[in-house]
Amino acid sequence: MAVVAVRSGADDAAAHPEPTTPARAATGKGRAATGKGFRHHAIAFARELLIVVVGALVVSSLLRIFVGQVFDIPSISMEPTLVVGDRVLVEKVSTPERGDVIVFHDPGNWLASPGEAPGPVRRVFETAGVVPPLSSDHVMKRIVGMPGDRVACCDGEGSLIINGVAVREPWLAGDASEIDFDVVVPAGHLFVLGDNRARSSDSRCHLHEFSSMEGQNAFVPLDRVVGRAVVVMWPFDRWSFLGHTDAYRDIPHGIDPAPKEPTIAAGAEATC
């Protein structure tokens, strides 16, 4: 008779022994070590990423403060050179010259109403140079008079006269000026006009205003200048450079040294 072997529970246990407690503990320690390693790498990555982001923001902020900044065009006063919605790069390194388009801080109530105040988040991005400033006191115009220059409007052909020389300005939206004026720019100041003269509140519009001296508000102090507009960056179909223009190349220097106070021979009664 054949003998059939029947496996008991003891035999199964011998064949497939349960892991001992030390083995289970070792496995648990390995998993814990793996988890700690992952967390360590994640923290290290986050730290490095934070350093990179903060460093980039610091560099961007320094570039914005000392090198260049982007501004949006909010009005039609510089048309057709600049139109509403243009985004313009302004560099802060070079010294502005006659004919340059510049951004400057409002020298004295040129802006009729304050603009929208930016929120805290936008203010951070503005400081970092990520978005253009939503500023209430920046103005953009073209320099037509340097310190000591005599600027008058107009000759028989309707052109500006700077230091006795008629200037042809082909970029204007219309006439050189509908307001007659004749001024000498004081030391440390600029005389500025918009390219859309009929729709621009500029130096002509403030010759009647008094501050520390007669007509002073009409002239932009050099220390209020932010920088010179050099490139239309956006929209792409309007990409263009705003370099120095040859229209003012042959104009002689004005009075040297420039007078401390402005001379306003005509235009003091004008308003815009």
| Nearest Cα residue to 183 out of 159, 140, 153 | 153
3-class DSSP string for the chain: CCCCCCCCHHHHHHHCCCCCHHHHHHHHHHHHHHHHHHHHHHHHHHHHHHHHHHHHHHHHHHHHHHCEEEEECCCCCCCCCCCCCCEEEEECCCCCCCCCEEEEECCCCCCCCCCCCCCHHHHHHHHHCCCCCCCCCEEEEEEEECCCCEEEECCCCCCEEECCEEECCCCCCCCCCCCCEEEECCCCEEEEECCCHHHCCCHHHHCCCECCCECHHHCEEHHHEEEEEEEEEECHHHCEECCCCHHHCCCCCCCCCCCCCCEEEECCCCCC
User: Catalytic: 8?
Assistant: no
Amino acid residing at 72: D
Please count the CA atoms within 13 angstroms of the CA of 56 that sit on its side-chain side. 8
User: Catalytic: 77?
Assistant: yes
Q: Give pLDDT tens digits for 10-34.
A: 444 444 555 555 555 555 555 555 6
Q: Give pLDDT tens digits for 126-183.
A: 555 555 565 568 999 999 999 999 999 999 999 999 999 999 999 999 999 999 999 9
Highest average pLDDT, of 57-66, 189-198, 216-225, comes from 189-198
Rounded distance between C-alpha atoms, residue 163 and residue 159, angstroms: 13
Rounded distance between C-alpha atoms, residue 90 and residue 42, angstroms: 40
55 vs 92: which has the higher pLDDT: 92
pLDDT computed for residue 1 by the predictor? 44
**Average pLDDT over every residue of 259-269:** 87
Amino acid residing at 35: G
* Annotated catalytic residue within 60, 75, 77, 260: 77
Read off the pLDDT band of 68 (50, 70, 90): confident
* Annotated catalytic residue within 141, 159, 200, 203: 141
pLDDT computed for residue 268 by the predictor? 75
**Average pLDDT over every residue of 78-82:** 97
Average pLDDT over all residues of the chain? 81
pTM of the complete model: 0.74
Q: Is the pLDDT of residue 231 over 70?
A: yes
- What is the Cα 104 distance to its own chain's centre? 11
Q: Is the pLDDT of residue 115 over 80?
A: no
Please name each of the domains of the chain with its CATH number: 70-112+135-266 (2.10.109.10)
* Integer angstrom CA distances of residue 77 from 80, 108, 198, 227: 9, 18, 8, 18
